[in-house]
Structure 1
Amino acid sequence: MDSLYDRLPGLLTFRPLLYGILMWFVCIYAFLRGGWEERIAILVLIISAYLTFVLSALFRSRYTDLEWPIFLGDVVTFIVLQLLAMQSKKFSPLWLAAFSGVVLLSHLAPLMPGMLPATYHDAIAIWGYPSLIVLALGIANHHRTKMQILARPT
């Protein structure tokens, strides 16, 4: 029986650790200062990240062909973020949905001749960072707007 570390040898490398730390800092920030959109968005991103991790381990993803379980998880993430963007009056949920759409397009990478598995994996994984940065900027904007409204003289 393979250990989890044998299944995902890059688990304890710098990039996943950085992403996890950034994700949880944005999560705390969202629940302290964000609005309902930011809170839903970070929950979707957290669930998506952990779902991808679990599916990669369960299905022993090698990224040589289209990874259907991960693709289907990304489709659900895209749909939820798109619905959130349509309900929101803010701009950041639209960016999150757009980044999620690019992730879906990245799943087409194995169809290109000579595509390296690492490139396919990186094309999917890299969009998590801009998503978290945009979400953090959206939270900062929400908090600043809220403080300006509260500071107005009546």
Structure 2
Amino acid sequence: MTTGMALTALYYLLLIGVALHALLRGGVPEKVGAALNIGASLLTFAVIPPLHVRWRSVDLPTFAIDAAVATGFFVIARCSDRFWPVWCLGFAIANLFVHFARFTVQNEVPLAYADGSVAWAYLALVALAVGTSHEAGVVAGVRLADRVAAKLRRLLASNETNEERQ
């Protein structure tokens, strides 16, 4: 297995895991974000050119999908109170700039275009996973803080009750 194949397999495993997490634990914005990531990934997989010509010039179908993804994250960011869509939008815009760079610098090394185009998708998945975890309240620090605060409230309430009895 080549490095590229391993990274692709890792991406799809990450996509499945994050999408399931968002679909099971997230709210509506997380579910829409998961659907956007799944749809874009499947469409990109369907339109990628053969390996011998891939990354040699701007891949217009992939550029169109990436522009749609940026638009989708913009809409999610505008319609929700979540922080993660803003991160994903930033990653999507950075990805679009990679395409713009390829438009303007035709002698760019194909590998640089490939790496620049792919890296942002991983970061968007991580942002969705972090956002889903945060919104679902499963971030360990948040849950621990909530438990400690609840115990302190109970302790204070029991102390007040004991003082009233005396």
In the alignment, which residue of structure 2 is the partner of 1:55? Answer: 47
Equivalent residues of 2:57, 2:106 under 8 A apart: no
TM-score (structure 1 length as normaliser)? 0.81
Once superposed, which parts of structure 1, at least 4 consecutive aligned residues long, lie more than 3 Å away?
9-12, 57-61
Aligned-partner residue type, residue 34 of structure 1: G
Q: 1:127 aligns with which of 117, 120, 123?
A: 120
Q: CA RMSD in A?
A: 2.7
Gaps of 5+ in 1: 1-8
Structure with bigger gyration radius: 2
Q: 1:69 deviation in Å?
A: 1.0
Aligned residues: 142
Aligned-partner residue type, residue 66 of structure 2: D
Distance 1:130 1:24, change over 3 A: same
Cα deviation code 1:120-142 (max 9, x no counterpart): 01101011111111111101110
Q: Give identity over the alignment, percent.
A: 26
Q: 1:107 deviation in Å?
A: 0.2
In the alignment, which residue of structure 2 is the partner of 1:66? Answer: 58
Aligned-partner residue type, residue 133 of structure 2: A
Gaps of 5+ in 2: 154-166
Distance 1:74 1:128, change over 3 A: same
SS in structure 1 at match of 2:48 = helix
| Pair 1:41 & 2:30 matched | no
- Say which structure is richer in helix: 2
